[in-house]
Amino acid sequence: MGFKEQIDITRLPEHIAIIMDGNGRWAKNQGKFRVFGHEIGVLSVKDIVEGCVDIGIKYLTVYAFSTENWNRPIEEVNALMELLISTINQETATLTKNNIRLNAIGDIASLPQKCIDDLKSAMDKTANNTRCTLTLALSYSAKWEILEAARKLAQQVKDQQINVEDINEERFSAQLTTLDMPDPELMIRTSGEHRVSNFLLWQMAYTELYFTDTLWPDFRREDLFEAIVDYQKRERRFGKISEQLN
């Protein structure tokens, strides 16, 4: 039996987050330049999006470019931006056909103007799609996002719109870039690295973490289904004890 058949569709995670890692090492293993790994990595994104839509995942958030990734060699940064632009433009029609809404989180204003424009156009075109929301984390880092939220709340207090006592979990979450989505129940990181690299730190407070040695360009929907099967075997206790759960 394949992993897909083992999934209990009545207990699917609503939101899956993925740190797509290992493109560079994958390319190096083939004797190719790192950018080739990013190119094949796009095929993995497409397959995973289709896999999510196929089984009914409502939110998929993928870490595509971190704040820290700006520190990579300029040639690689430029190649990633080019790849982002071409992929967005090539895939908008498919997203529309499959009823997928494209969303982006991060410091979008820091991206090259062409990226911003094409991203916005693709997001506008897919804004009313309802089957699944695909969120690209671009120039994203959780510390950046949490600081932005803190600044906005501080400003609201300063402007006497809210009192300090009004700041609670709900209000804080509403200032984050993920305000319109549930927290991810499952986070997958490929390539054997066991860290979260500044991704969704607030939202992953109770997320189940799944690590695999598979490099991102090799990660396809059967691997996703395997991760979901693993997730469904876990007991999520949220601080309670086993006997309190039904």
User: Which residues are catalytically annotated?
Assistant: 21, 69
For residue 192, give the DSSP letter.
Answer: T
Pick 76 or 230: Cβ nearer ligand IPE: 76
Write out the binding residues for Mg ion, residues 97-136 only, by CB under 5 A.
Answer: none
Distance (Å) of CA 90 to CA 47, 83, 223: 15, 10, 25
Q: Which stretch binds Mg ion (CB under 5 A): 9-17, 19-27, 48-56, 103-111?
A: 19-27
Q: What does the alpha-carbon distance between residue 54 and residue 220 come to, in Å, rounded to a whole number?
A: 13
- Which residue pairs, CB below 8 angstroms and at least 24 apart, start in 76-80? 76/34, 76/35, 79/35, 79/38, 80/35, 80/38
Q: Single out the residue of 13, 16, 17, 22 in contact with ligand IPE (rule: CB under 6 A).
A: 22
Q: Which is nearer to ligand IPE, 7 or 17 (CB)?
A: 17
**Of 23, 44, 139, 214, which one interacts with ligand IPE (CB under 6 A)?**
23
73's CB contacts (< 8 A; 6+ apart) are none
Which of the choices ligand IPE, Mg ion, none does residue 23 contact, using the CB cut-off of 5 to 8 A by kind?
ligand IPE
Q: Compute the least distance from the CB of residue 41 to ligand IPE, in Å.
A: 6
- Residue 68 φ/ψ, nearest 5 degrees: -70, -25
- Residue 246 to residues 186, 195, 208, 239, 240, Cα–Cα distance (Å): 21, 32, 19, 14, 11
Count of beta carbons in the 10 Å neighbourhood of residue 227: 23
> Which x/- pattern, by CB under 6 A, does the window 199-228 give for ligand IPE?
-----------------x------------
Q: Does 60 bind ligand IPE (CB under 6 A)?
A: no
The CA–CA distances, whole Å, from 172 to 39, 145, 203 equal: 37, 11, 11
Contacts (CB under 6 A) with ligand IPE, residues 62-121: 63-66, 68-69, 80
Out of 67, 139, 191, 212, the residue judged to bind ligand IPE by CB under 6 A: 191
Minimum CB separation of residue 78 from ligand IPE in Å reads 13
Among 17, 19, 21, 104, binds Mg ion (CB under 5 A): 21
What DSSP designation does 207 have? P
| Binding window for Mg ion (CB under 5 A); candidates: 21-29, 39-47, 54-62, 110-118 | 21-29
Cα–Cα distance list, 208 to 66, 74, 90, 155, 233 (Å):
21, 35, 33, 34, 11
Q: What are the structure tokens assigned to 180, written together?
A: 């319109």
Residue number, 162 or 196, with CB nearest to Mg ion: 196
Binding site for Mg ion (CB under 5 A): 21
Binding site for ligand IPE (CB under 6 A): 19-25, 63-66, 68-69, 80, 191, 193, 195, 197, 216
